Every structure is written in structure tokens, then in C-alpha cells.
Amino acid sequence: MTPESLRELLRRFRSGELSEDAALEELARLPFRELRDARVDTHRALRQGLPEVVLGLGKSVEQICEIVKALESSGVNVLVTRVEPQAAHEVRRELPQLEHRPEARLLWLAQQPPHQPGGQGESGSIAVVTAGTADSPVAEEAAVVAELFGNKVERLYDVGVAGLHRLLASIDVLRSARVLIVVAGMEGALPSVVGGLVGRPVIAVPTSVGYGTALGGVTALLGMLASCASNVTAVNIDNGFGAAFVATLINRG
């Protein structure tokens, strides 16, 4: 409930259009309506121009279509993450208005212009850095989401720690970013190295890339958390979306 509608309710009560009991009834449900309003309030994504987000992982094509349609009718931008190619194909047969970003496993429905960041400070760029080519799907999820959220994104891929020269050759890209998303599987050492090279927040994204002792991303994650660089925080394994979400909040100042 917006302040305006609450004001309206009070006026209708004073004018007699609404009986005391009806007003009471209405207001008695306020805490939660208010919370329902708060719900909108916590729908900060919408208010901030961020789209509604649906995790496609483990949902059927039918479920995805149903949810997207419901969100579409509310006029917001809609983002579906973790959509495999075949599922994306089937969803778009029913909802051809969705844009498909296969490299990032995303479906996207733009109904509003992307939010222009700014807030308190001038926003900068988000650098998305990967250790190996196999980390690309997660990195693209992060990069495309960050772009859809209105950020300027710089990609720096395949600069793993076993070939430092590639990383160092692009140190300007790293140092000019407001916040960095560093994506790595296997031993997950890249965020520590990048963290030591820059004075900005580094969001580390472990990936499930690798075999054996890579333990499906757990080794990379543990290493990122035990990092000797103090400016590194981590998100869940393969969670490119979450990294982009937090990076956007940081970038907006």
C-alpha cells in the first residue's frame, strides 16, 4: 500500500464512504498489507530498475513459461537464469518475445529501459575475469547480467595464474574497475592474485570446472575464502548471477 492509497483510505473514512468497521477491517490487515507494501519495498529490484529473476535450474519448461507470463503482465523486466539450450528453445517457442543469451544460459524480457546507475556516486565499470575458457558460461552469466542491470562491463578471460603474463598485460583493465568479479575453478587461485593487484572489492566465483581434487568447485571455494588477499569475498559455486547482483549494488554507490 502506497502512502497515497493510505491517505485515500483515511479520506474515504472521514467522508463516510467507508464505515468505521470497514476501515478497521482494512486497517487491521495493515501490518501485513503494509508488509505487503514493504514487500514492494523489498522488491527493490523493481524499484531500482532491476528485473525480476527466475532460477531456471530444476524448473520445467511449463513452470518457466507460467512464471514468465505472470511477471510479464506486471510490466517488469524478467531474467531467467540457468536455462539449458533445449529448454530455452522450447520456452521461446511459446514466448518468442524472450531474448536468448545462450553463452550465458539466460532468457531476457526487456519491458523497461535498463536502469541508469548513479546513486550517491558516479558508477564505474565491473571487470569480469576468468582463469580458463571452461569458466566462460559462469562468467558470461555474470557479465550479461551485469550489463542487463545497466553496468559497464569489461571482460578479461583466460588469464589463469599459471600464465601470469597474460594477467599482468591487462593490469590496466583490472585497476580501472570499480569492482571485480573473478571466476575460477580447479585451485581457484586467481582471486587471490587479482586481489593483490587492485584496491577494489573482488567478488570471487568458484566454478565446478575441473576433476578429482577440484571436488566440483569446493576446492576453489575453500581457497577463495582462505585467501591471503583481504579484499576478496565469495559467492556460491557457479553463482555468476549472485556475483553480478552484488557487484551492481556496489557499483551503484
Question: Of 95 and 197, which CB lies nearer to a copy of itself in the complex structure?
Answer: 197
Whether the Cβ atoms of residue 158 and residue 133 lie closer than 8 Å to each other: yes
Smallest distance from the beta carbon of 214 to a copy of itself, in angstroms? Answer: 4
Smallest distance from the beta carbon of 71 to a copy of itself, in angstroms? Answer: 14
Question: Of 53 and 110, which CB lies nearer to a copy of itself in the complex structure?
Answer: 53
Smallest distance from the beta carbon of 94 to a copy of itself, in angstroms? Answer: 19
Strand order of the sheet with strand 106-109? 52-55, 78-81, 106-109, 99-101
- Measured distance CA(43)–CA(53) in Å, rounded: 11
- Measured distance CA(207)–CA(236) in Å, rounded: 9
Question: Of 61 and 250, which CB lies nearer to a copy of itself in the complex structure?
Answer: 250
3-class SS at 78?
Answer: strand
Helix (H) or strand (E) segment spanning residue 206 = strand 202-206
Question: Of 107 and 192, which CB lies nearer to a copy of itself in the complex structure?
Answer: 192
Smallest distance from the beta carbon of 124 to a copy of itself, in angstroms? Answer: 7
Question: Of 126 and 214, which CB lies nearer to a copy of itself in the complex structure?
Answer: 214
Return the ∠ at Cα 161 (arms to 157 and 163), rounded to 5°: 80
DSSP strand pairing (152-156 vs 179-184): unpaired
Smallest distance from the beta carbon of 72 to a copy of itself, in angstroms? Answer: 18
